[in-house]
């Protein structure tokens, strides 16, 4: 994997992680994502979170898909970094 490509992927993962984290925080204030910022965060992050939500078993009112998505993105970052080093 080229260093430039790996750095681009790491940057994209970091931005996506920040957007997902912002979505999680924003959902406390605008749970229906009815504001313009809420809709933007939802539209950008939902395609990544939705498949994970489909795999996770229901936990009542608790949606762990955002947390699982962030953990998976961190693992992916570590894998890319390990390829760069090794």
Name the DSSP letter for residue 2: -
Over the stretch 47-74, which tens digit does the pLDDT of each residue have?
999 999 999 988 888 889 999 999 999 9
pLDDT reported for residue 60: 81
CB 53 within 8 A of CB 63: yes
Over the stretch 1-10, which tens digit does the pLDDT of each residue have?
688 999 999 9
pTM of the model: 0.89
Quote the CA–CA distance of 78 and 81 in Å, as a whole number. 5
Above pLDDT 90, what percent of the chain?
A: 80
């Amino acid at each position: 994997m080229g260093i430039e490509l790996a750095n681009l992927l790491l940057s994209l993962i970091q931005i996506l992680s920040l957007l997902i984290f912002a979505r999680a925080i924003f959902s406390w204030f605008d749970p229906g994502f009815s504001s313009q910022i809420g809709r933007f965060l939802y539209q950008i992050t939902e395609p990544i979170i939705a498949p994970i939500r489909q795999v996770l078993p229901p936990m009542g009112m608790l949606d762990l898909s955002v947390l699982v998505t962030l953990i998976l993105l961190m693992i992916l970052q570590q894998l890319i970094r390990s390829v760069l080093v090794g």
